[in-house]
Chains A and B, each alone.
Chain A
Amino acid sequence: MIEKIFVTEAAAKYDYTKEICDRAGLEPEFIRDDTAYRKEVERFLSDPVGQGKRHLLLDVFKGEFFRKCPGTKGKVCCNYYVIDQTTNCPFDCSYCFLQSYLNLRAIRFAVNVGDLFRELEAVFKKHRFVRLGTGELADSLALEPLTGFGSKLMNFAVEFPGVVLELKTKSAYVENLPDVHGKPGRGVIGWTMEPSHVVALEERGTATLDERLEASAIAAEKGYGIAFHLDPVVFFPGFEAAYLELVEEMFSRHRTLDWMSLAGFRYEPSLKGYVEERFPGSELLDGEFLRCSDGKYRYLFPERIRFFRRLVKKVKQLSPKTPVYFCMEDARTWDLVMGENALADPVLEPIFSREGNDEKQGM
């Protein structure tokens, strides 16, 4: 998966850098900094997005790792926090917004995890409850065999009561994760779940659906909560039956999930060119879309509502205690699918709890 490792001058002095290079069995190339990578490597790539995903850039991050998930304008926020320690991902999904979002094509991995842990410790001590994850700009476990970072972070975070750390992935790399039974914090492993048709067509390099389900069973045995994200829901011929069947499969393995999110495929206009150019066989853009108030394109509102209603109904039948929430949908969608006052449902308490130093936000 990773073909080359680049080490910046700042990262060279860290033991963790050597540890990763040794595990990868690759001789690193030393470069001054990320600018040098752009100038000397990236611009000579004919498919910078695809080839960059096979380059690991070990660097030092000097900013703040921890931040609030920005959500999107006018949509309901689920109060999630993110850790930006890694940016970019070796998996190559047609729908991934990172294609048009990132300005560095290599996977940038910050080796100064000591700084991260110090920052997190201060945050965890201030908050009574915080739900966070590393899966916003990267797959949390895709590089686990090389870096072991997911395990390091999990070991650290679950020692704090009130912390719910989610590692979100499309991989099956859970074997080496620590057992978290009896820990004061909560470890959750979240998987993006798609019908096999979508996995095969739109998610290059990821684990198959069966592998993800199998991995979720292993994670549950180690004491982890399980989360599934039907995000993005992609409309293709036969998608309704495929997603309903997927939900059945999911709940045949797990009676209750820590949470489950739903979101229809949506895209910024800038993503379209990447899909067309890099994924000629993709069915992603075949549906009918309309530009919404936040500038993103989404499937037709009535169609989304109709399908989400069926999906949510199915989940409620199979697992009434699983909190289901929407990612980046507006309050009207919530009302129409879940019913009025759905956001006040106690089952959603773990998702929408707001404590600590957060400013109170209207939903």
Chain B
Amino acid sequence: MVKFFYKNQIRTDDRFRFHRGDVPGNLVRSVEREGILLPLIAVAGEQPLLVDGYRRFDLLSEGDSVPVRQMRDEDAAVRAAVELNMLASPYSEMEKAGIVAVVHENAWMPEREILDKLLPRLGLKGCQSVLENCINVVDGLSSVLLNVLMAKKAPLKFAARLAGEFPEEQAALAGFFSGRRFSLSQMIQAYDLLVPIRKRDGATISVIIEKLKETKGDVIDALQRMRFPKTTGIRMKLGALLLPYREKLSFPPDFEGDAFRFSCRLKSPEQAVDCARLLHEISQDSSLFRFLSEYLDND
């Protein structure tokens, strides 16, 4: 049943705030121009308890009147909200985790039903490990890091990994990610690099991040150099040695066996003589020979 209420008649509860991060501009404009068209979902009562529509609700003025679809209890209201949102604008994985965790915590559905119905309805795999990830993300993440991840629509698996970090490490990561204005892929890349560096150096993430402040240039590149010092060293040396030939020869991108071979494309027979000269020059290059001897014990 849909009924109109004034904003100040409606109760709120943060458990149901599944959307975090910035409110989309088109939603703001729509509410400003048209008010709320699609009813909010709430638990019925003289002062209904809002379950779905928090972002639109927050945009209202105190005296605004809004349509509210009233459900008999929290369970029914959550189910209706899930159905509606999955049709209208699907949740991010973090929001889905929030829904699953709140449904589980309040025992609105038996665990089996969460696995059989709710998770698949949300587009998640209906298995125990996914349910546990949802709960861990909500229970284990600090609110600051949770907000950072929600804003970037982080995948559940990544969020679950971060949820296992100690609170001080989470705080350092949240500051690092938001301070550097990282995209989601940069966050994942940075974390993948930070974890092994931390293990190898016996440091904390905040100490590593502190060190990064001294480095210039791209911070992901700096982390790559910290994580892979040997690779970086070899790449730089080889790069410098081969620099004179760069424009003339093609080099494979990795360091597999063929990386020490090179090729050139001949556009005319005359070029063959130039290439032969170049190859002769390379074969006589003592710095290259020393490099290969050092790295391959090449005789």
B111 to chain A, nearest CB (A): 9
Determine the interface band of chain B, counting residues with CB < 8 A from chain A. 20 to 34
- Chain A facing B: main interface SS: helix
Q: Mark A34-58, 1 if CB is under 8 A from B, else 0.
A: 0000000011111110000000000
- A300 with B127: CB separation less than 8 A: no
Given A46-B128, A309-B297, are A293 and B199 neighbors across the interface (CB < 8 Å)? no
Contact call B296/A286, Cβ cutoff below 8 A: no
Cβ of B88 under 8 Å from chain A: no
CB distance from B99 to the nearest CB of A (A): 19
Instruction: Tell whether, in the assembled complex, residue B196 and residue A330 are in contact, meaning their CB atoms are under 8 Å apart.
Output: no
- Cβ-defined contact, A46 with B132, below 8 A: yes
Is residue B254 contacting chain A, with contact meaning CB distance below 8 A? yes
Assess whether A43 is in contact with B128, with CB atoms less than 8 Å apart: yes
A244 lies within 8 A of chain B by Cβ: no
Select from chain A the residue with minimum beta-carbon distance to B195.
Answer: A276
User: Which one of A42, A47, A277, A300 lies within 8 Å of B231 (CB-CB)?
Assistant: A300
In the complex, which of the residues A44, A47, A306, A332 contacts B257, with contact meaning CB atoms closer than 8 Å?
A332
Known: A46-B129, A48-B129, A285-B196. A302 touches B255 (CB 8 A): yes
- Tell yes or no: B216 within 8 A of A by CB: no
CA A335 – CA B258 in complex, angstroms?
Answer: 12
User: CA–CA, A302 to B295, complex, Å?
Assistant: 5
Interface positions of A from 315 to 356, Cβ below 8 Å from B = 330-333, 335-336
CB pair B256 A330 closer than 8 Å: yes
Interface membership of B11, Cβ < 8 A: no
Number of A-B contacts (CB under 8 A): 73
Which chain B residues numbered 157 to 212 have a C-beta less than 8 Å away from chain A? 157, 161, 195-196, 199-200
Q: Would B230 and A293 count as touching, CB distance under 8 A?
A: no
Q: Does the CB pair B196–A286 fall under 8 Å? A: yes
Whether A48 contacts B157 by the Cβ 8 Å rule is: no
Contacts of B115 in A (CB 8 A): 43-44
- Residue of B132, B228, B255, B257 with highest tally of chain A CB at under 10 A: B257
Q: Does B236 contact A (CB under 8 A)?
A: no
Residues of B close to A305: CB separation below 8 A: 296-297
The answer to whether B126 touches A43 (Cβ under 8 A) is yes
* A292 lies within 8 A of B296 (CB): no
Question: Is A288's CB under 8 angstroms from B127's CB?
Answer: no
Which of A286, A288, A336 meets B230, CB within 8 Å? A288
CB distance from A88 to the nearest CB of B (A): 17
B37 proximal to A (CB < 8 A): no
* CB within 8 Å for A292 and B256 given contacts A305-B296, A309-B297: yes
The verdict on B38 contacting chain A, using a C-beta distance below 8 Å, is no
Q: Which of A47, A298, A303 has the most CB of B within 10 A?
A: A303
Is B278 part of the binding interface, using a Cβ–Cβ cutoff of 8 Å?
Answer: no
Chain A contacts for B234, CB-based, 8 A: 300, 302
In angstroms, Cα B298 to Cα A42, docked, is: 52
Assess whether B296 is in contact with A306, with CB atoms less than 8 Å apart: yes
A291 at the interface (CB under 8 A from B): yes
The answer to whether A291 and B254 touch across the interface, beta carbons within 8 angstroms, is yes
Given A46-B132, A300-B231, A306-B297, the answer on whether A290 and B254 have CB atoms closer than 8 Å is yes
- Complex contacts, A277 vs chain B, CB 8 Å: 161
Contact A300 B255 (CB under 8 A): yes
Residue A184 lies at the interface, judged by CB distance under 8 Å to chain B? no
User: How far in angstroms is the closest Cβ of chain B from A251?
Assistant: 23
CA gap between A1 and B61 in the complex, in Å? 64
Which single residue of chain B is at the shortest CB-CB distance from A301?
Answer: B255
Contact of A303 among B132, B230, B254, B259 (CB under 8 A): B230
Question: Which residue of the partner chain, among B128, B195, B231, B297, contacts A290 with CB atoms under 8 Å?
Answer: B231
In this complex, which of A292, A331, A333, A335 has the most chain B Cβ atoms within 10 angstroms of its Cβ? A292
CA distance A289 to B254 in the complex (A): 11
* CB pair A47 B129 closer than 8 Å: yes
- Residue in contact with B129 in the complex, picked from A45, A286, A303, A333, CB distance below 8 Å: A45
Given the complex, which residues of B lie within 8 Å of A293, measured CB to CB? 254, 256, 258
- Alpha-carbon gap, A302 to B258, bound state (A): 12
**A330 and B127 form a contact (CB under 8 A):** no
Q: Using Cβ atoms and an 8 Å threshold, which residues of chain A touch B231?
A: 288, 290, 300
The answer to the question of A71 belonging to the interface, with a C-beta cut-off of 8 Å to chain B, is no
In the bound complex, how far is the Cα of B112 from the Cα of A12, in angstroms?
Answer: 29
Residue of B nearest to A282 (CB): B199
Give bound CA distance, A309 to B298, whole Å: 11
* Complex alpha-carbon distance, A133 and B18, angstroms: 53
Q: In whole angstroms, how far apart are the Cα atoms of A43 and B296 in the complex?
A: 49
Asked if A286 and B200 make an inter-chain contact with CB atoms under 8 angstroms apart, the answer reads yes
B109-123 vs A, CB cutoff 8 Å, 1 = contact: the mask equals: 000000100000000
Q: Which residue of B lies closest to A334 (CB)?
A: B257
Looking at the assembled complex, report how far the CB atom of A73 sits from the nearest CB atom of chain B, in whole angstroms: 12
Within 8 A of A (CB), among B113-159: 115, 125-129, 132, 157
Q: Which residue of B lies closest to A285 (CB)?
A: B196
Interchain Cβ contacts under 8 Å between A and B, 18 examples: A45-B127, A45-B128, A46-B128, A285-B196, A288-B227, A290-B231, A290-B256, A300-B255, A301-B255, A301-B257, A302-B296, A303-B230, A305-B296, A306-B296, A330-B256, A332-B256, A332-B258, A336-B257
Given contacts A43-B128, A302-B255, 8 further A-B contacts (CB under 8 A): A43-B125, A45-B127, A45-B129, A286-B196, A290-B255, A291-B254, A303-B230, A332-B256
